[in-house]
Amino acid sequence: MDIRDLMIPYGRQCIEEDDIVAVSDALRSDFLTTGPLVEAFEKSICEVTGAKYAVAVSNGTTALHAAVYAAGIKPGDEVITTPLTFAATANAILYCGGIPVFADIIFETGQIDPKEVEKAITKKTKAIIAVDYAGNCCDYLLLKKIALDHGLVLIEDAAHSIGSKYDNTNVGNICDMTTFSFHPVKTITTGEGGAVTTNNLEYYELIKRFRHHGITRDKDKLTLDEGSWYYEQMELGNNYRLTDIQCALGISQLKKLDRFSQVRNEIVDYYHKRLDDIKGLRCIETTALCEPTWHLFPIILSLDELDVDRRIVFEALRNANIGVNVHYLPVYLHPYYKQIGYQSGICQLAEKFYQSELSLPLYPLLTSEEQKYVVDCLIELLMKYLKKD
């Protein structure tokens, strides 16, 4: 097959003329940061998700930090999460002094296994962070029951899953708190950006204060009355604010979520149509009750049917200018996590998943000619390496 000249990335943003106009309007306005567009963006997030409250923050990582903080995680508290995620999910637990406890995945979907979560619960467990891997949802029917039975806070890392639904409820309105990322590779973008949604007023107020150094101007909360200029820092927050410029882009992008979701899912349908019956790989399954907006299209190589490992397939596709990627090295296998005491073998299915996973390009601007090229190259490659019996 002829190799393309230009690399097809695995993901990229879709910025249109009206997005650019929205940002330039913000630049010409009186506010560059904390102005009217922050609240307007938060209102749009509430409308899209159905959540009561939303707080826009500087990125998906600070959204996770704020949620773990609001959940009241203190040094020594255990928080159960999946190893099959970006390190930021588990890092947020460490920022609060908590201990990440990794529960293994369901191999077919890549989602955290509720049975493993239940096994990992101890007297010190305070919360669960579930991650909607690839845009598919976790089994929230079971996870919510476990959280309720054991008095745990359930946080959903929805960096991949804005626009997805579970049991007819929008992501953002399912768990105690939901965190989003608006990095350019995610479904909608603000450059850098993130948000937390919740239906709980107490969490909402804590997160809003945390975003702004832990400072309040609320008369009912102040310890002194020094006049209308007066504010007090109540706790150790940070500057995790999102700018008006970024919120302008976010408002404009959120209006396109339905269209972006539809295009992403059409690309996924095409991948399934071409790949479902191909020997040497399998596609991941959708969780029951979930209607995903797909963020990634992971394939799992059937390594026992092939004469090669993932690395060879990966390099061959990259050499054909196809920007495949790998999601993810199980978090506890990173050197930092090993240094703080984690060992390999904790979650064997996640490790096996990692060994055989590849993510194919998926983003709204991927053309049908590019999709066909990706699939043709992949099939040709697998045919070459399929074991003869």
Ligand X SMILES: *Cc1c(COP(=O)(O)O)cnc(C)c1O
Nearer to ligand X, 187 or 216 (CB): 187
CB of 350 to ligand X, least distance (A): 14
Nearer to ligand X, 111 or 216 (CB): 111
Alpha-carbon gap, residue 304 to 289, rounded angstroms = 31
> Residue 214: left if φ>0, alpha if ψ -120 to 50, beta else—which one?
left
Q: Segment near ligand X (CB under 6 A), from 93-101, 153-161, 202-210, 263-271?
A: 153-161
Q: In the complex, what is the shortest distance from the CB of residue 193 to ligand X, in angstroms, rounded to a whole number?
A: 7
Nearest approach, Cβ of residue 155 and ligand X (Å):
11
Contacts (CB under 6 A) with ligand X, residues 180-219: 181, 183, 194
Token pair listed for 277? 């019956």
Nearest residue to ligand X, scored by beta-carbon proximity: 60
Give the per-residue contact string, 47-66, with ligand X (x = CB under 6 A; - = no): ------------xxx-----
- CA distances 295 to 7, 260, 301, 328, Å, are 19, 10, 19, 14
Binding of ligand X by 294 (CB under 6 A): no
Q: Which position among 19, 77, 104, 157 is part of the footprint of ligand X (CB under 6 A)?
A: 157
Binding mask 75-114 for ligand X (x = CB under 6 A): ----------xx-xx-------------------------
Residue 106: closest CA among 125, 89, 83: 83
Q: H-helix or E-strand containing 195? A: strand 194-198
Q: Give the β-pairing of 78-81 and 169-170.
A: unpaired
Q: Output the six-digit token pair for 262.
A: 């539809």
Binding of ligand X at residue 342 (CB under 6 A)?
Answer: no
The gap from C-alpha 5 to its chain's centroid, in whole angstroms, comes to 31
How far is C-alpha 19 from the geometric centre of its chain's CA atoms? 23
Going by C-beta distance under 8 Å and a sequence separation of 6 or more, which residues neighbour residue 6? 321
Asked whether position 160 contacts ligand X by CB under 6 A, the answer is yes
State in angstroms the smallest separation of the CB of 207 from ligand X. Answer: 16
Per the listing, tokens 């309105």 go with 173
Binding region for ligand X (CB under 6 A)? 59-61, 85-86, 88-89, 131, 157, 159-160, 181, 183, 194
